[in-house]
Structure 1
Amino acid sequence: MPKSQVRKKKVYTPPTDIRPAAAAASKKPSPTWLPITAVGLIVVGIAWLVVYYLSSQQYPVEAWRYWNLAIGFGCMVGSLAILSKWR
């Protein structure tokens, strides 16, 4: 049985008008306060919810009732928004 020919693959050469090294060099690293703030918001949000449930809905602010849940989850969602800016 005859053997089939082996095709040589072309060597990929990236276009010269796009320089990934220059684009990567222009991105600055995130400031140090960004992850610290995000982790702080996560901790505050979780602590707010834990205190709310363990105190039988009396603390942190009894008059806000179920808005305490919105504040706790809002802190955690806010931390996600901050972390989306992290490089």
Structure 2
Amino acid sequence: MPKSQVRKKKVYTPPTDIRPAANAASRKPSPVWLPISAVSLIVFGIGWLVVYYLSEQQYPVAAWGYWNLAVGFGCMVASLAILARWR
């Protein structure tokens, strides 16, 4: 009995007008200050919150009250926004 022919599928290649133009060589690496500033913001935010809780809400700024929490968490959220740009 004769064997049937094996059909090969063509490899899909997208049209050239749809292909993304950016390649790996055109993307620039992140500047050195970016991860340094992100880590320093995280450390600063955690330090702010630790001082706030350990001093029984007297330091860093007693007049701000619970806004001290916003400063600490705001620094940490800002560091996440900076790290989102890291390549």
TM tier, shorter chain?
Answer: 0.7 to 0.9
Task: Tell me the number of residue pairs that the alignment of Structure 1 and Structure 2 aligns.
Answer: 83
In structure 1, the residue matched to 2:79 is: 79
Identity %: 80
| Divergent runs of 4+, >6 A | none
- Between the aligned partners of 1:47 and 1:57, the Cα distance in structure 2 is 14
Over aligned residues, Cα RMSD in angstroms? 2.2
Matches within 5 A, 1:1-87: 7-13=7-13, 15-16=15-16, 18=19, 23-87=23-87
Q: Give structure 2 stretches of 5+ with no counterpart.
A: none
Give per-residue Cα distances to partners, 1:25-66, cap 9 Å, x unaligned. Answer: 111000000000000000000010011001100011111110
SS of corresponding position for 2:28:
coil
Name the CA distance, whole Å, in 2 between partners of 1:82 and 1:58: 30
**For the residues of structure 1 that align with 2:6 and 2:82, how far apart are their CA atoms?**
53
* Residue type of the alignment partner of 1:59: Y
**TM-score, normalised with respect to structure 1:** 0.80
Q: Secondary structure at the match of 2:71?
A: helix
